Amino acid sequence: MNTSSASPRVSVIIPSYRPGDWLEECLGSLLGQTLPASDFEVILVLNGCDHPWSDNIRAWAEAHPGFPLRFIQTDTPGVSNARNVGIDEARGEYITFIDDDDYVSPRYLEALLAEAAPGRAVLSNTLSFTDGCEGFDENYSLHRLYLSLQEAPGPFTLLQTRSFFNGAYRKLLPADLVGKRRFDPSFRNGEDSLFMFEISDAVTDIRTASPDAVYYRRFRSGSAYTRRKSLSYRLLNTARLLAAYTRRWGARPRAYNFPFYLSRLAATVKGHLLN
């Protein structure tokens, strides 16, 4: 594994739990980046599990010397904890998150970095696919939103881009914009949207990267995202999320965009209770 002391420009944070073969596809897409390896680091956090997955990751790293991978294993489970560990360890000027079963295009990091600026969130093109099915979903809502944004001059508002803030991935963020804020590990669903709302007070500019910066979103049956939750869980989780959003907005109402706050409440009810 790369142990260079030089500070990279971008820190790529990948949370992982009992990864399958898709992790190698994810890492392989980062191995093929056009951005020089000296300009980024990959922080892979294996959470809540160890062998044989840690052995497989170390074997992959040994087979790819010079790749800027920093591997961390923690017994504490949860994607929020893993992302927080990654943020704590990040040395880059900018941060981006990638889920371990997704992958990115060769120019992903270079194209995101080309639009980077202090206070700016840079959004990538996004395509989705389903395991076992051929091709990409050209009607994926975030892909269509990205294309519509590309037709406008920008910069864009939080309301215009609100769907991109439903998740932590498919964007580049300045590390100092994140600051000391972290994901709330008390949530198992909706924690990434809550985190994005919390740091939205520091977002002063939103732009899109060029179309060749593509985040490929994988949908797997049985994943945490696709697994159906019970009605009682959805009711409780929705109520807790609404309260958490309101506490954050209420503590500093002038710092947050009020229409964007309302959109987060509506998205929480629609995404976590009605679906």
| Residue 51, C-beta contacts closer than 8 angstroms, at least 6 positions apart | none
Is the pLDDT assigned to residue 218 strictly greater than 70?
Answer: yes
**Separation between Cα atoms, residue 240 and residue 246, nearest integer Å:** 10
Whole-number Å distance between alpha carbons of 104 and 58: 22
Bridging pattern class, strands 10-16 and 69-74:
unpaired
Taking residues 147-156, what's their average pLDDT?
A: 92
Q: How is domain 10-227 classified at the CATH fold level?
A: Spore Coat Polysaccharide Biosynthesis Protein SpsA; Chain A (3.90.550)
Pairing of strands 125-130, 214-219: parallel
Query: Per residue in 161-200, pLDDT tens?
Result: 999 999 999 999 999 999 999 999 999 999 999 999 999 9
pLDDT in tens, 125-134: 999 999 878 8
**Could you tell me the residue ranges of all domains in the chain?**
10-227, 228-275
Three-class SS state of 149 = helix
Q: In angstroms, how far apart are the furthest CA atoms of the chain?
A: 51
Q: Which two tokens stand for residue 162?
A: 């609100």
> If pLDDT is split at 50, 70 and 90, which confidence band does 6 have?
confident
What would the two tokens of residue 35 be?
């951005």
Residue for token pair 């943020």: 87
Alpha-carbon separation of residue 236 from 75, 104, 194, 222, 240 (angstroms):
27, 35, 16, 22, 6
- For residue 141, pLDDT over 60 is answered with yes
Return the residue matching tokens 């990115």. 104
pLDDT at 228: 72
User: Above pLDDT 90, what percent of the chain?
Assistant: 88
Distance of CA 42 to the CA centre of its chain: 13
- What the block records as the tokens of 211 is 């179309």
